[in-house]
Amino acid sequence: MNTDLTNTTSSKINAALVQARRAIGSPAVGMVLTLVIVTDEANHYDALKAAADASQEHPSRILVVIKRPGRSPRERGQSRLDAEVRVGGADGSGETVLLRLRGELAQHAESVVLPLLLPDAPVVVWWPVDAPDHPVRDPLGALAQRRITDTYAVERPLRELAARAASYAPGDTDLAWTRLTPWRSMLAAALDQARASVTSAVVESEADNPSAELLARWFADRLRVPVEQVVTEGPVVTAVRLRTAAGDIHIDRPEGPVATLSIPGQPTRTLALKVRSTAELIAEELRRLDPDEAYAAALRATIPSAGPVRLG
């Protein structure tokens, strides 16, 4: 059920949500959190699609904040809130509200969002593209237990990663880190099987990939070894090599969803290691709302390395 509201208020949006729920006979008590997406017109469709897919696992109230401050002084001086309320249907099992904040109201999004939060439920804020310099200090970020950014989606990922390290607060996370979960799980399991001390590490990836940078920092923090970063054609992280006295532990994924794992003294194995969708990454982040201490440590670690090396 869809309801369009023009030049509206938060109280009218809440009333429309209640009315829509009653009309379809579906109460809101089953929703587990509020997900606030802060984006623009160009990126809101893809972000909403990912959030809606994730809501199949985590029924949520999704609030999409689209700021349109205006270009001219007259537009910037006029405030207006337009909303589209969607309950049920293709957008998932929860509720979705698209909020278009025009003029001066775009600078005070928290005043619109706060009355629409589910009572006694966690709040997650996600910036799909451009995040504030200090997410925890942002008026919307201050409302949340979890703040999600994505350094892979910006023009200068490594510079953005440095900004994330400088402004980190418990509850911050980055989808560039979430993309590493399968890699980290497989590498930890391989180390348990090899039972050998790592002397150095190599991470191969496309240039300026924040996931590869975080993986290298994770090795530096956890293993305390030199880490070499090798630039390849990608996509994303293509291979990881952990050097030990017994031989190399090697995961190689040059392309596609399949990788090979080599452990000294064991036959080479084929593993499923696909590049996961944004919806899968968001669903993983919504499973845990506590501070990610491993991400914090990796984010702040320094890499003892001479710098990246390009193959070929």
- What is the end-to-end Cα distance of the chain in Å, rounded? 56
Does residue 299 sit in helix, strand or coil? Answer: helix
pTM (2 decimals)?
0.90
Confidence band, pLDDT 50/70/90 cuts, at residue 2: confident
The answer, yes or no, to whether residue 309 has pLDDT greater than 50, is: no
User: Which residue intervals of 70-225 are DSSP H helices?
Assistant: 73-77, 109-113, 157-167, 175-178, 181-194, 210-223
Distance of alpha carbon 41 from alpha carbon 84, whole angstroms: 14
Q: Look over the chain and give the mean of its residue pLDDT values, rounded to a whole number.
A: 89
Give the CA radius of gyration of the chain.
Answer: 22
Q: Which residue has the tokens 């469709």?
A: 45
pLDDT top residue among 22 and 44: 44
- The average pLDDT across 121-129 equals 96
Distance of alpha carbon 245 from alpha carbon 264, whole angstroms: 10
Structure tokens at 13: 């949006």
| Distant-in-sequence, close-in-space partners of 59: CB < 8 Å, separation ≥ 6 | 30, 31, 32, 92, 93, 94
Evaluate whether 270 touches 126 at the Cβ level (below 8 Å). no
pLDDT value of residue 311:
46
pLDDT value of residue 101:
95
The least confident of 44-58, 161-175, 245-259, 294-308 is 294-308
Distance of alpha carbon 187 from alpha carbon 252, whole angstroms: 12
% pLDDT > 90, the chain: 72
Confidence band, pLDDT 50/70/90 cuts, at residue 305: low
**pLDDT tens-place string over residues 164-192:** 999 999 999 999 999 999 999 999 999 88
The answer, yes or no, to whether residue 282 has pLDDT greater than 90, is: yes
**pLDDT tens-place string over residues 197-225:** 999 999 999 999 999 999 999 999 999 99
**pLDDT tens-place string over residues 24-51:** 776 555 788 999 999 999 999 999 999 9
